[in-house]
Amino acid sequence: MDQKISPELLYLNDVSVVFDGFRALNSLSLTIGEKEMRAIIGPNGAGKTTMMDVITGKTRPTVGTALFDGGVHDLTRLDEATIAGLGIGRKFQTPTVIENHDVETNVELALKADKGPFAKLFSRRTPQVQERIDEILERVRLKNARHRRAGDLSHGQKQWLEIGMLLAQEPKLLLVDEPAAGMTDAETADTAVLLREIAETRSVVVVEHDMIFVRDLDVKVTVLHEGSVLAEGSLDHVSSNERVIEVYLGR
Amino acid sequence: MTSTRLIDFKGYVFLAVLVAAVVIVPGLNLLLPADNPFHIPSYLVPLLGKYLTYALLALAVDLVWGYCGILSLGHGAFFALGGYAIGMHLMREIGPRGVYANPELPDFMVFLNLKELPVWWWGFDFFPYAALMVLLVPGALAFVFGWFAFRSRVTGVYLSIITQALTFALLLAFFRNDMIMGGNNGLTDFKDIFGIPLQTQGMRASLFALSALALGLGYLLCRYIVTSNFGKVLVAVRDQESRTRFLGYKVENYKLVVWVISAMMAGVAGALYVPQVGIINPGEFSPANSIEAVIWVAVGGRGTLVGAALGAVLVNFAKTWLTGAFPELWLFALGGLFVVVTLFLPKGIMGLIGSMDSVKAWTTRRRAVAKPAE
């Protein structure tokens, strides 16, 4: 499959993941276009994290198709590192940074580069690399914390660092799991601005619980429930949907 | 956080001590008369040299355990294989001077009624070949083992257990006479290397110096690795393996590279150990040896390199002394030491030195803050 067979960047069709009889994903179908930003909402256990696991290669779907870059790459056959190399970046719900490295090194490790062991054995931090690190730290406002141990950062700062690491990877598709968790209102608003900025050149999938934040993003929303898509459309459209109200209010 | 310079302050101290040891130990042995109180008796030189080879083994263990989180309970296997490779060369060097005076076959093969040299003994009379095997045999075993283990994502305790099984399997294999590796007795009665008898003072001093050199170079190699970008990835793998994969790193390849390098270092250590102690037998594969090596690293300080070497020398010094003075106490002392270190010194001796630094830094900071208030 060398040619793009569809205009979609990400194409999930009829994906099911079964853990010991429990259907975490149930015939999920979803497409994300180039430079599209999508918000994904859904109650706990709706399958949001499992969906990200499938896209990033952590979990193999029981059945179904997962294609990337217009059908060129079959995500169900690749490992996490290869998928990351293709240009899918992921930010975790709880910030996971390399605590024993300083902030700069965390960004440096994420930077898009040859990530083979021998390349890394002989590469040095060049001025260009330093410049790129500076740019990213400037954007995520961690310039003053650059030499601090990542483990000593506050929760909010770790979130920013992870977003910085995501930027450093220069992915085509960003999967962002609850970026606003643990942030102040001002930081949350700024995160929305940053994500909108990023979405001008890349595709972004945001999983979020915070409805105010989703409203700030002002994008198409997909509602997941019990492992499949319940509704799709603008936030106003989905929030007036009978089924969505039922699921969220638990009637 | 580890310092990023190739040689930091502790490194300079360490290398200076090594250089001093190379000058002082052979110097006091060769130049001073035996009745001088500072004279180092000849039997002590290979004993100290043995400590240095243990220190090199400890560096190898620390490289994979301290920086990549791979707790190997089987590094003694690579050490012993390196030792066997050089032992095979030393056996061939004996030539017709054996009890059976066979110019080709070592005594134990004559005893086993062998008529000709087994294929895997070919070439070992040629020193460069044996030296190459010191690196290649442990390296190849580590490669095959690591290829399967890391690709299957075996980690943590499970990996430790299979490394233990690896060395135990080799122990059993080398015990068998059909291996034609000397069986139970191993390889011994070595005479000389490069035509120089192993028992001469000069040869002992040279082997000591060579061990110190190997330890110094091994240290620099490890420092190069851990201060490089590769080393930063290793720490990331140690602390957040899954996260590192999502950053685009093929973790199994990183582990494999560092694992093979570490195994080769252990092989070199074993190769320097054997001529100094004069014997290599299957006992070197015993799991207890590998576990002891891990204890040296824990005592000295995991992930500090210098601490690993220091721990190896100190624990073995204590072992030599205790097994002489109170032989029945040694294993209790070793076990107790491990418990004490685990409970009270999680960063080992180097952690103790480090915390003294931070206490000093803390008190000076306190004073600096307190002053304006007066």
pLDDT digits (tens, 9 = 90+) for B186-204: 999 999 999 899 999 999 9
C-alpha distance from B231 to closest chain A C-alpha (Å): 8
Q: What is the pLDDT of residue B364?
A: 62
**DSSP code at position B278:** T
In a domain, B129, yes or no: yes
Chain-chain contact of A115 with B250 (C-beta, under 8 angstroms): yes
Task: Select from B52, B63, B243, B256 the least CA-distant residue to B149.
Answer: B256
Where do we find the tokens 């149930």?
A26
Interface test with A, best of B229, B230, B242, B255 (most A CBs within 10 A): B229
Torsion of CA B17, B23, B26, B29, to 10 degrees: -100
Nearest to B18 by CA among B208, B171, B229: B208
Query: Which residue reads 């257990």 in tokens?
Result: B161
**Under DSSP, is residue A152 helix (H, G, I), strand (E, B) or coil?**
helix
Report the candidate in A244, A184, A231, A217 with the shortest Cα–Cα distance to residue A37.
Answer: A217
DSSP B3-31: --SSS-HHHHHHHHHHHHHHHHHHHHHHT
Identity (one letter) of the amino acid at B42?
S
Is B288 domain-assigned?
Answer: yes
pLDDT for residue B1:
46
Q: Are A72 and A2 in contact (CB under 8 A)?
A: yes
In a domain, B4, yes or no: no
Residues of B in contact with A120 (CB under 8 A): 228-230, 232-233
Which residues in chain B have their CB less than 8 angstroms from residue A108's CB? 229, 232
Which positions in chain B touch A122 (Cβ < 8 Å)? Answer: 228
Q: Does A45 score more than 90 pLDDT?
A: no
How far are the Cα atoms of B56, B153, B309, B358 from residue B305, in angstroms, in the given order?
10, 26, 7, 20
Q: Quick one: average pLDDT of B163-181?
A: 96
pLDDT confidence of residue B3: 61
Whether A188 contacts A213, CB under 8 Å? yes
Cβ(B338)–Cβ(B295) under 8 Å?
yes
Interface check A110 vs B, CB under 8 A:
yes
**Which residue blocks in B69-155 are alpha helix, DSSP H?**
75-94, 107-111, 127-151
Q: Rounded to an integer, what distance in angstroms lies between the CA atom of residue B303 and that of residue B5?
A: 15
What is residue B315's predicted lDDT score, i.e. its pLDDT?
Answer: 96
Query: For residues B326-347, b (16+ Cβ closer than 10 Å) or e, as one string?
Result: eeeebeeebeebbeebeeebeb
Are A99 and B245 a contacting pair at CB < 8 A? no
Percent of chain B with pLDDT over 90: 83
pLDDT for A211: 81
CA dist B246 and B203 (Å) reads 53
Nearest to B230 among A79, A80, A120 (CB): A120
Give the residue with greater pLDDT, B52 vs A249.
Answer: B52
Mean pLDDT for A134-151 is 93
| Cβ atoms < 10 Å from Cβ of B301 | 26
Three-state DSSP class for residue A242? helix
Using a CB-CB distance cutoff of 8 angstroms, which residues of chain A are in contact with residue B233? 109, 115, 117, 120
Residue B106 forms part of a structural domain: yes
Same topology between domain A1-86+219-251 and domain A96-171+186-202 = yes
Please classify residue B319 by burial: count the beta carbons closer than 10 Å to its beta carbon, then call 0-12 exposed, 13-18 middle and 19+ buried: middle
ipTM score assigned to the predicted complex: 0.91
Report chain A residues whose CB lies below 8 A from the CB of B226: none
pLDDT given at position A65: 94
Query: For residue range B249-269, what is the model confidence (pLDDT) as tens digits?
Result: 999 999 999 999 999 999 999
In a domain, B122, yes or no: yes
Contact B1 A101 (CB under 8 A): yes
**Which residue of A100, A102, A115 is in closest CB contact with B239?**
A100
Query: Closest to B246 (Cβ–Cβ): which among A90, A120, A125?
Result: A90
* B189 to A155, B99, B275: CA distances (angstroms): 65, 10, 10
The CATH architecture of the domain made up of A96-171+186-202 is 3-Layer(aba) Sandwich (3.40)
Residues 6+ apart with CB under 8 A from B158: none
Q: What is the pLDDT of residues B329-357, one digit of tens each?
A: 998 999 999 999 989 988 899 988 877 66
Q: Which residues of B touch A149 (CB under 8 A)?
A: 1
The pLDDT of residue A223 is 93
Q: With an 8 Å Cβ cutoff, is A60 touching chain B?
A: no
Question: What is the H or E stretch that residue B289 is in?
Answer: helix B287-300
Q: Whole-model pTM?
A: 0.92
Query: For an interface test with B, which of A54, A90, A100 has the most B Cβ atoms less than 10 Å from its Cβ?
Result: A100
Share of chain B above pLDDT 70, in %: 94
Residue-wise pLDDT for A149-183, tens only, equals 999 998 888 989 999 999 999 999 999 998 888 78
> Residue B372 has which token pair?
């304006």
Contacts of A116 in chain B (CB under 8 A): 250, 253
Which element (helix H / strand E) includes A229? Answer: strand A228-233
pLDDT at B94: 93
* Closest Cα in chain B to A83: B248
Look up residue A117 and give its two tokens.
């062991």
Cβ contact B262:B64 at 8 Å: yes
Q: What is the pLDDT of residues B266-287, one digit of tens each?
A: 999 999 999 999 999 999 999 9
Partners of B257 on chain A (C-beta within 8 Å) are 117-118, 121
**pLDDT at position B215:** 98
Which chain A residues are Cβ-neighbours of B244 within 8 angstroms? 98, 109
Q: Which residue has the higher pLDDT, A183 or A110?
A: A110
Query: Residue B154's pLDDT is what?
Result: 94
Tokens of B80: 């012993």
Quote the pLDDT of residue A239: 87
Tell me, what DSSP letter sits at residue A149?
Answer: B
Give the helix ranges, DSSP H, for chain A. Answer: 48-56, 80-86, 103-110, 117-122, 127-139, 155-168, 185-198, 211-217, 235-239, 242-249
Whether residue A79 and residue B250 make contact (CB cut-off 8 A), yes or no, is: yes
Q: Which residues of B touch A92 (CB under 8 A)?
A: 243
Rounded to a whole number, what is the distance in Å from the CA of A202 to chain B's nearest CA? 18
The whole-angstrom distance between A7's CA and the closest CA on chain B is 25
B30: buried, middle or exposed (CB in 10 Å: 19+, 13-18, 0-12)? middle
The residues on B that touch A, with CB distances below 8 Å, are 1, 225, 228-230, 232-233, 235-236, 239-240, 242-251, 253-254, 257
Token pair 């004069």 is found at B278
**A35-44, A78-87, B158-167, B250-259: which range is least confident on average?**
A35-44
Q: Where are the domains of chain A?
A: 1-86+219-251, 96-171+186-202
The answer to whether the Cβ–Cβ distance between B246 and A100 falls below 8 Å is no
Of A35-39, A237-241, B170-174, least confident by mean pLDDT is A237-241
User: Would residue B267 count as lying in a domain?
Assistant: yes
Length of chain A: 251
pLDDT for position B219: 98
CA distance B314 to B336: 15
Give percent of chain A above pLDDT 90: 65
Residue B164 in domain: yes
B-chain residue closest to A53, CA distance = B246
Query: For residue A177, which residues of chain B lie inside 8 Å, CB to CB?
Result: none
Residues of A in contact with B229 (CB under 8 A): 108, 120-121, 123-125
Residue in B81, B279, B237, B288 with CA at minimum distance from that of residue B170: B81
Q: Is residue B372 predicted with pLDDT exceeding 60?
A: no
Interface test with A, best of B224, B240, B247, B254 (most A CBs within 10 A): B247
pLDDT tens, residue by residue, B77-100: 999 999 999 999 999 999 899 999
Instruction: Give the span between the Cα atoms of B113 and B115, in whole angstroms.
Output: 6
Closest residue of B to A125, CA-based? Answer: B229
Residue B362 banded pLDDT, cuts 50, 70, 90: low
Mean pLDDT of A18-37: 92
For residue A224, what is the DSSP state? E
Distance, in Å, from the CA atom of B169 to the CA atom of B286, rounded to the nearest integer, reads 10
Flag the least confident range among A91-100, A180-189, B242-251, B262-271: A180-189
Interchain pair A108, B236: CB under 8 A = no
Pairing of β A10-19 and β A63-68? antiparallel
Q: Looking at residue A181, what is its pLDDT?
A: 80
The CATH code of the domain that includes B116 is: 1.10.3470
What does the block give as tokens for B307? Answer: 């601490």
Q: Which domain holds residue B51?
A: 9-373
Structural domain total, chain B = 1
The pLDDT score that the predictor gives to residue A6 is: 66
Whole-angstrom Cα distance, residue B237 to residue B218? 22
The whole-number pLDDT of residue A247 equals: 83
Provide mean pLDDT across the span A175-200: 87
The answer, for A22 touching chain B at a CB cutoff of 8 Å, is no
Mean pLDDT over each residue of chain B, to the nearest integer? 92
Name every chain A residue with its beta carbon within 8 A of the beta carbon of B228: 120-123
**CB-based contact B1 A84, cutoff 8 Å:** no
If one compares A242 and B363, the residue with the highest pLDDT of the two is A242
**Res. A94: pLDDT tops 60:** yes
pLDDT at A42: 87
Query: Mind listing the pLDDT tens digit for each residue in A7-23?
Result: 789 999 999 999 988 99
CB A169 within 8 A of CB A111: yes
Q: What amino acid occupies position B335?
A: G
Element (H, E) at A203: strand A203-207
The pLDDT, as a whole number, for residue B374 is 36
Shortest alpha-carbon distance between residue A249 and chain B (Å)? 35
Report the CATH number of the A1-86+219-251 domain.
3.40.50.300
The answer to the question of residue B3 being in a domain is no
Q: State the number of CA atoms in the 13 A half-sphere of A93 facing the CB.
A: 8
- The alpha-carbon radius of gyration of chain B (Å, integer) is 22
Q: pLDDT > 70: what percent of chain A? A: 96
* Nearest C-alpha in B relative to A113: B248
